[in-house]
Structure 1
Amino acid sequence: MAGNALMKIRQELLHLHQTFKILAAHNDQDLATVKQQFTFLRPKFCINSVFGEYVLHGLDMTAHYFTLMKNNCLVATVSKQFFSWSDTYGIEIIGEENDAFIIALVIILDQIIYDNKEKQTFQ
């Protein structure tokens, strides 16, 4: 890796709900689209990628712990530190998943979840 970019994250602005793309850094190949879906109780996402369709489980209102599934198989667990000066995550990637892709996905989810929480707090 040695300082070379592996993934790019691009926000698509002209959508009703937040939408992001994950691209391969070396050739801008579209690897995934992450769309927030409208729900009242908890955040929900549509995650379609060239690697398969991903589903989040266990995402609660605090968004401090969730699992990422693909084809009904666990591929990653994500936990956010409760007492930290900055956003700190523990990410356990299971099996042969693309590490850089999973990390890019977690960055997007953090951006959407916490951007929405800040908007709700200040309204």
Structure 2
Amino acid sequence: MARFVFHLLALQLVFIAGALSLFSSKKVDDAVKYQLQQKVLTLGSSYTIKDDKDKPVYKVGFKQLGLGKHLQLTDVSGQQEFYSIKHILNPLGLAKYEIRQNDKVIADISRKFNFIGGKKFSVKSKHGTFKIEGNFRSREFKIKKDHVLVATISKKFFSVGDKYGVKINRGQDAPFILALAIVVDEVAHD
């Protein structure tokens, strides 16, 4: 009988270890780190994005005036636009955004209503299907592509101002993932 109990416990441990390995993608391992900081003394939304050596690599500012917010993510000089981010006004009040490249919509981002308290976004794009999940209170988010963690957004390392750490797996389109991080921050302030 003791042998049977021992085998049963061993089988349970193997099962638990296997289950944990399936769901343990809590970290982005081979990552490039960025620092996303909203400029405080500007009219509207403006961001500076720095690399892990504190060197500015991208900037975000208003693209044009009109209904809904329309931002553009460019290189530091502002000469090369990577993506623009358009807030689509929604009568239900749920956040909906488009990411555009060369004035063509390449991604639709919709906020999903969630009773449990977390926030979820669904992203359908030319780069694939993404899910963004997290908590606005703690400002911790995960970006998954086809159920694989590709980036994290975290405010826990920065307590002053609007500053986030963004870790992006190598091989991902960093400006696109940073555009998703900007959408999350914009929704946090709406």
Quickly name the TM-score band, shorter chain normalised.
0.7 to 0.9
Q: Compared with structure 1, are the counterparts of its residues 113 and 63 closer, same or farther at alpha carbon in structure 2 (3 Å cutoff)? A: farther
CA distance in structure 2 between the aligned counterparts of 1:15 and 1:23, rounded to whole angstroms? 22
CA distance in structure 1 between the aligned counterparts of 2:135 and 2:84, rounded to whole angstroms? 27
Q: Compared with structure 1, are the counterparts of its residues 49 and 87 closer, same or farther at alpha carbon in structure 2 (3 Å cutoff)? A: same
RMSD: 1.7
Q: Does 2:86 align with 1:10?
A: yes
Moved more, 36-45 or 47-56: 36-45
**Cross-structure match for 1:108:** 183
4+ runs deviating over 6 angstroms: none
Structure 2: give runs of 5+ residues left out of the alignment.
Answer: 1-74
Of 99, 107, 114, which residue of structure 2 is paired with 1:22?
99
Q: Compared with structure 1, are the counterparts of its residues 100 and 61 closer, same or farther at alpha carbon in structure 2 (3 Å cutoff)? A: closer
Is the contact made by 1:78 and 1:90 (CA closer than 8 Å) also made in structure 2?
yes
**Cross-structure match for 1:120:** none
What per-residue deviation string (whole Å, max 9, x for no partner) do you get for residues 44-74 of structure 1?
Answer: 21111111111124x1241422221112222
Identity between Structure 1 and Structure 2 (%): 31
**Cross-structure match for 2:121:** 45
TM-score norm. by structure 1 comes to 0.79
Residues paired across the two proteins, number: 111
Structure 1: give runs of 5+ residues left out of the alignment.
Answer: 116-123
Is the contact made by 2:96 and 2:109 (CA closer than 8 Å) also made in structure 1?
yes
Of 85, 109, 125, which residue of structure 2 is paired with 1:34?
109
Shift of 1:98: 0.8
Residue aligned with 2:85, SS: strand
